[in-house]
Amino acid sequence: MENNNTNKRKLTTASGRPYAEHENSQSVGSRGPLLLQDFILHEKMAHFNRERIPERVVHAKGTGAYGTFTVTHDITKYTKAKIFSKIGNTCKTFLRFSTVGGEKGSADSERDPRGFALKFYTEDGNWDLVGNNTPIFFIKDPKKFSDFIHTQKRDPRTNLKSPTMMWDFWSLNPESLHQVVILMSDRGTPFSYRHMDGFGSHTYSFINSENERVWVKFHFKTQQGIKNFTGPEADAMRTQDMDHSQRDLVEAIDRGEFPKWNVKIQVMTEAESKTFRWNPFDLTKVWPHGEFPLIDVGVLELNQIPRNYFAHVEQSAFAPSNTIDGIGYSPDKMLQGRILSYADAHRYRLGVNYEQIPVNSCPFMVNNYHRDGQMRIDDNGNDDPNYYPNSFGDVIPDESYKEPAWELDSNVADWYDRNAGPGDNDHYTQPGDLYRKVLSPEDKINLVNNIVGAMSGISGPRRAQIINLQLCHFFRADIQLGMAIAKGLGVDIDQAMVSKHS
């Protein structure tokens, strides 16, 4: 009989030992107890027990793809980053989309912001741009982040999602109003990842060859066109296909329909930042395009689905601490907090050597004095010195990469109210403008219906108080918006005002 196994690979243990008994455990007789010495059984079960690494606290459910970024316009007057040094430069990228608040098994069509995390594998190191499909966020100080995310998760007593928790937090933090209006519009339920824009959201800095600094925001405008679900359509899709966005991207790329985004920036000079009517480093605010127009940079294309989801998408790790020469930070308080917290989350979830995992590793050059730690998979520095300075090695700092000094506006360290003072205390103009000037009549109707539906879930003894406080914020943004929501909730405005002042 012909042997068809000649060119097959041998089944082995993790240590490389070939073995035959993959399906049957060793036992005392065919019906007797198992033997402790069956190490194949131990290895299979022990590995299976550990297949699930801790899921991300936020952005737990995601979809990823590799692609290419191509420079189409010259922005060298703003930045010396090598990736932008010449029109036509290309760079491999990895992009992970995600929902934010839901667990790994949640539905893709949930009302939620969408993560837009992008890794550029550049010759000067990996550059991570960690953003969302919205240009802003709910809060402006990182100390509030864990409290906010707790409201988006599950009630500690009922283990259920709680509209009361969400609206209580939002009503007590009017800085969230701008993002709440976006979230409650149809933008909060994108049809697919291909049909939404992406944003770096934070304010970053560019540094050019003359060591001049400007502030910058990143925009990714979909070439596929914006397409959203209405609230009822999103609800229906949850019951039809909980993995709709994952399926949509995989099938589109497999068909050869590679999604593309036009990459653009906004630029603000340091002088302009000092006179801008809002704090330009406030993550709850946008820079109006009329004053800071979009500047073309390049094109991002996704063209490859990873062959193994876990190895590439689940183990991918993005952190704003990963920047490259010519791209820096700003006084954006949320960005400052995330510089620490993102990398720390990956060290907890994937291990201290997470950047050696192929999807996260720099393909060009990594030289440092880090040693040892869990899951060290490279040569661990061989016999090179593990300290600096030393008299033996050749890994030294390159002074040409030194960044210009920061000129600070104050020499006083204190705890400042992020919502006090001019430029920081206006929570209503931008969400009001969004409602009046950006949303279509149909968008406005859907927004009100979505808000009414969401706020109707508020319960408990503080229900009226939470609703009235949140209504005050909507009224301050736009009277017509407030009136429409109050009517939908059946709130008697006159009686509510009497109760508020009594």
Catalytic-residue membership of 360: no
CB 237 within 8 A of CB 174: no
Tracing tokens 């109050």 back to the chain, one arrives at 486
Is 132 assigned a catalytic role? Answer: yes
Task: State the Cα angle at 444 between 439 and 446, rounded to 5°.
Answer: 120
Distance CA 229, CA 398 (A): 51
Q: CA angle 359-302-245, nearest 5°? A: 90
Give the long-range contacts of residues 162-168, CB within 8 A, separation 24 or more: 163/454, 163/455, 163/456, 163/457, 163/458, 163/459, 164/457, 164/458, 164/459, 164/460, 164/462, 164/463, 164/466, 166/454, 167/454, 167/455, 167/458, 167/466, 167/467, 167/470, 168/458, 168/462, 168/466
Looking at residue 381, the DSSP 8-state letter turns out to be T
Residue 222 and residue 196 in contact, taking contact as beta carbons nearer than 8 Å: yes
Among the listed residues 7, 49, 73, 132, the single catalytic one is 132
Q: Are 106 and 99 in contact (CB under 8 A)?
A: yes
CA dihedral 271, 274, 279, 282 (to 10 degrees): 40
Residue 160 contacts residue 154 (beta carbons within 8 Å): yes
The single residue of 59, 312, 346, 473 carrying the catalytic annotation is 59
Q: What is the DSSP letter of 311?
A: I
Q: Which tokens go with 170? A: 């939002």
Length of the chain: 502
Q: Please, is 110 exposed, middle or buried when counting C-beta atoms within 10 Å of its C-beta (0-12, 13-18, 19+)? A: buried
CA-to-CA distance for 439 and 437, rounded, in angstroms? 6
d(CA 117, CA 313): 11
Q: How far apart are CA 350 and CA 356, in angstroms?
A: 10
For residues 247 and 136, what is the distance between their CA atoms, to the nearest angstrom? Answer: 27
Given a contact cutoff of 8 angstroms between Cβ atoms, the answer to whether 96 and 313 are in contact is yes
**Residues known to be catalytic:** 59, 132
